[in-house]
């Protein structure tokens, strides 16, 4: 016993409508050179027969699948727990859907996943890919380079710096803005909770903090004291803040490299009896819509808009798919301070 193989083909529709396969194809694809009569007959036939075109056959000849891969090169449990990443996914989904492309979501965690990802992207399943590979040691970007379908990276492409299309935020400037703001408001001992230093964005945020303070005349050994690394999670941010408070009880401000960590830092400060922003000013990074405003006090933070990033990435990808000769380059998006209550 076999399943129903009664799936109608274009040929069936054409026969039913009393025209040729070519005409049926034209009618269904909106070619203007079809008589109204033929068009109507074909449309009706397609409806009556429950016809839907075979995508495999179509993309075999058009060389388009209508799908775009979105690759998050991180363990999936991490991605889905991170509000910033999920909002990237969301924007990507919406942006692509509006352009008529389907998002094919992939996580890439570990060696065999790299091979699987490469095979998938190179196998013609998708027209192109949007790739987020924040870790410096990630082998994926390099593995992706020789592939046929165009790839646009969101944020740093592992340790690749040339020959790739990148849409990134100006993390260092963001950190500078935050620190300058704190300095301008009279803060004198500005600590930082940095992100994991195996991620380029986290490094840039840290170096922005360091450079700005150095330029303002702060001692570099002093700075070492005022920095703690955490892992972009709430608990990590909290623990890092605890360590900072233990080592430098005199700190009066902290620049935290993500909103989620800032939430943790806020909690640590609260538990330690420090008032925010009275005793300690806190500036976050991301400006996550739900998170930043929900905190108490609402978080002053560096605003970056993942939807913007995704929009640029999609635009670049579409241009590439349209055959426009775009030279691989790194587009850097501005970030800006969003002042709320915490600093």
Partner DNA sequence: GTTATGATTGAGAGCGCTCCCAACAACGCG
Partner DNA sequence: CGCGTTGTTGGGAGCGCTCTCAATCATAAC
Residue 78 contact partner, candidates a copy of itself, DNA, none, CB within 5 to 8 A by sort of partner: none
Our finding on whether 238 is near DNA (CB under 7 A) is no
- Contact flag: residue 28 with DNA (CB under 7 A): yes
Tokens of 290: 């739900």
Name the token pair of 336: 């800006």
The candidate with the shortest Cα–Cα distance to 299, out of 245, 237, 248, 251, is 237
Binding at 23: pick from a copy of itself, DNA, none (beta carbon under 5-8 Å per type): DNA
Cis ω for the linkage preceding 297 (within 30 of 0): yes
Q: By CB under 7 A, is residue 66 in contact with DNA?
A: no
Taking the C-alpha atoms of residue 257 and residue 202, their distance in angstroms, rounded to an integer, is 7
Distances from the Cα of 292 to the Cα of 31, 88, 284, 301, angstroms:
50, 16, 8, 8
Interface with a copy of itself: number of residues (CB under 8 A): 47
Based on the shown chain and the rule CB under 7 A, indicate whether residue 37 belongs to the binding site for DNA: yes
Q: Is 40 in the site for DNA (CB under 7 A)?
A: no
Give the tokens for residue 115.
């091979």
Distance CA 55, CA 322 (A): 20
User: Site mask, a copy of itself, residues 289-328, x = CB under 8 A?
Assistant: -x--------------------------------x-x---
* Binding status of residue 32 toward DNA by CB under 7 A: yes
Return the structure tokens found at 106. 């992939």
Distance CA 336, CA 176 (A): 10
Which 3 state secondary structure label does DSSP give 326? coil
- State the minimum distance, in angstroms, from the CB of residue 205 to a copy of itself: 24
Of 76, 180, 231, 308, the one binding a copy of itself (CB under 8 A) is 76
- 161 makes contact with DNA (CB under 7 A): no
Provide CB contacts within 8 A for 327, sequence distance 6+: none
Q: Which of 44, 97, 99, 336 binds a copy of itself (CB under 8 A)?
A: 97
Task: Decide the pairing of beta strands 300-303 and 336-338.
Answer: antiparallel
- What x-and-dash track marks residues 129-158 binding a copy of itself by CB under 8 A? -----------------x-x----------
Angle at 226 between CA 282 and CA 215, to 5 degrees: 90
List contacts with a copy of itself (CB under 8 A). Answer: 1-4, 7, 50, 52-57, 59-60, 65-67, 76-77, 80-81, 86-87, 89-90, 93-94, 97, 102-107, 113, 116, 119-120, 122-125, 146, 148, 290, 323, 325
List contacts with DNA (CB under 7 A). Answer: 7, 9-11, 19-23, 25-26, 28-29, 32-38, 51, 53-54, 57-58, 60-62
């Amino acid at each position: 016993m076999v399943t129903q193989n009664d799936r109608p083909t274009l040929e069936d529709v054409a026969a039913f409508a009393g025209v040729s396969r070519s005409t049926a194809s034209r009618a269904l694809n909106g070619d203007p050179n079809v008589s109204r009569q033929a068009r109507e007959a074909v449309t009706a036939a397609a409806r009556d027969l429950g016809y839907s075109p075979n995508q495999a056959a179509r993309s075999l000849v058009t060389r388009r699948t209508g799908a775009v891969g979105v690759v998050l090169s991180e363990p999936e449990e991490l991605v889905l727990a991170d509000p910033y990443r999920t909002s990237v996914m969301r924007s990507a989904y919406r942006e692509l859907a509006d352009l008529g492309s389907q998002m094919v979501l992939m996580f890439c965690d570990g060696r065999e996943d790299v091979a699987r990802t490469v095979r998938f992207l190179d196998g013609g399943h998708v027209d192109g890919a949007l790739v987020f590979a924040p870790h410096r040691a990630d082998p994926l970007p390099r593995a992706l380079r020789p592939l046929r379908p165009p790839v646009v990276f969101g944020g740093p492409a592992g340790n690749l710096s040339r020959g790739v299309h990148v849409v990134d935020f100006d993390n260092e400037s963001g950190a500078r803005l935050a620190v300058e703001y704190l300095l301008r408001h009279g803060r004198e001992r500005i600590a930082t909770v940095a992100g994991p230093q195996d991620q380029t964005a986290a490094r840039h945020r840290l170096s922005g903090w360091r450079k700005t303070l150095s330029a303002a005349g702060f001692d570099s050994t002093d700075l070492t004291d005022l920095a703690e690394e955490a892992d972009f999670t709430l608990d990590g941010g909290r623990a890092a803040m605890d360590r900072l408070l233990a080592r430098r009880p005199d700190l009066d401000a902290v620049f935290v490299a993500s909103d989620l960590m800032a939430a943790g830092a806020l909690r640590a400060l609260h538990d330690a009896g420090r008032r925010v922003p009275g005793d300690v000013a806190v500036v976050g990074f991301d400006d996550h819509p739900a998170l930043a405003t929900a905190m108490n006090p609402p978080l002053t933070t560096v605003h970056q808009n993942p939807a913007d990033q995704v929009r640029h990435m999609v635009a670049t990808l579409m241009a590439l798919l349209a055959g426009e000769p775009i030279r691989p380059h790194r587009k850097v998006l501005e970030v800006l301070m969003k002042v709320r209550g915490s600093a």
